[in-house]
Amino acid sequence: MQPLIQANGQPRLGVFDVPPAQVNYRDYDLRSPMGRRLGALARWRRFHQFQYFGLISDQLIGGCALANLSLLGVGFVYLFQPATGRLLERRFKLPLGLGCEFSQNPQQGVCQLRWRGNLLRLENQAVGAEKHLRVELDDGTQIDASFSEAQPPFQPMCIATPIANNGWAYAQKVAGVTCSGQVRSALGNFDLQALQAFAHHDWTAGFLRPQTCWNWACLSGAVGGRRLGLNLSCGVNETSFSENCLWLDGRLYPVSGVHFQFDRRQPLQPWQIRSQDGQVELRFEPAGMHHERVNALIVASDFRQLFGRFHGVLRPAGETVVPLQGQWGFVEDQYVKW
């Protein structure tokens, strides 16, 4: 494994079979749009990073994210119980990321937020290709969840794309893996393995556009006795290369560009998602939403992550059609200025 930034100060770009050893952004030769070399302060200000761990089962759905926006550290966690419609949420915003820690190694390291007795911790371990989520909140909520990409074998999506004329993004994504662990909350106590829960994971970092937006869709579960994962995005990571893909039993199948059709003013109405190559034809019916809004002048974000059910078909190349009949998953609508 090699670091992402090469000796000439430029990133390696493309879709990788092996993740980089380090996203060594401090070695990047950052320039202004007109070619003027920028220093360490500009690299710190422009570099952003986030990591996300999601849980899916018929009985419990959850998500936890951490983001380093240079001027602001952001974290959230939520749990949703489909049977009752109950939603538990907590949000954290820490100026200058005080109380936050972010590793630049997507395979080995810790990203975490600590604030007044609350802990959100995402730990990645190279041994066994394991991902761990640990949440401890002052209201008694606890989450301890993990999965492995090694047993059974799984092929992650690892991609680096150019952005504008002076930026890039690296993303490493996983969906369609079984998950184990425990959840204790006001919704009850849950054994994730007993729930037959699945997980998905996103590690993204880079020099993105100062103002950007994207849509995203993801699901993890079992269909017809096979492990299924889906990762679709529009707006980021599609310059020259695309992160769009699906997984069957850990094998990755690339997908072309996708179109998200929905009403931004009424996001809880159904969404339509289709790919240009015909592999994806889905209808998403939201059941609930986690909404984050930050407006701090220099930094702003309007983030909606919706959880609900997918209906439709997937047509992976060389495989039989995979019908979706109410599989739980996520979609996202995000605007950000950073």
Domain parsing of the chain, residue ranges: 14-337
Q: How confident is the model at residue 297 (pLDDT cuts 50, 70, 90)?
A: confident
Tell me: the pLDDT tens digits for 16-42? 999 999 999 999 999 999 999 999 999
Region 244-259 average pLDDT: 97
Question: Kind of pairing, strands 226-234 and 271-275?
Answer: unpaired
Give residue 299's pLDDT band: very low, low, confident or very high (50, 70, 90): confident
Confidence of residue 236 (pLDDT cuts 50, 70, 90): confident
Residues 175-222: tens digit of each pLDDT: 999 999 999 999 999 999 999 999 999 999 999 999 999 999 999 999
Q: What is the pLDDT of residue 20?
A: 95
The SS3 assignment for 152 reads coil
CA–CA gap between residue 112 and residue 102 (Å, rounded): 7
* pLDDT of amino acid 82: 96
pLDDT value at residue 151? 84
Least confident span in 147-151, 171-175, 180-184:
147-151
Q: What is the mean pLDDT of residues 72-87?
A: 96
pLDDT in tens, 107-138: 999 999 999 999 999 999 999 999 999 999 99
Write down the pLDDT at residue 186: 98
pTM for this entry: 0.95
The pLDDT of residue 81 is: 97
> Above 90 in pLDDT, residue 152?
no
How high is the pLDDT of residue 294? 83
Q: Please report the pLDDT score of residue 114 as a whole number.
A: 97
Residue matched to tokens 């070695």: 27
pLDDT at 239: 86
Share of the chain above pLDDT 90, in %: 92
Question: Residue 118 forms beta bridges with which residues?
Answer: 115
* Contact assessment for residue 307 and residue 329, using Cβ atoms and an 8 Å cutoff: yes
Reading the block at residue 175, the tokens are 């969906």
Strand partners, 41: none
The pLDDT value given to residue 144: 98
Mean pLDDT (the chain, rounded): 95
Mean pLDDT in residue range 92-99: 94
User: Looking at residue 64, what is its pLDDT?
Assistant: 97
The pairing of strands 226-234 and 245-248 is: antiparallel
Give the span between the Cα atoms of 268 and 275, in whole angstroms: 22
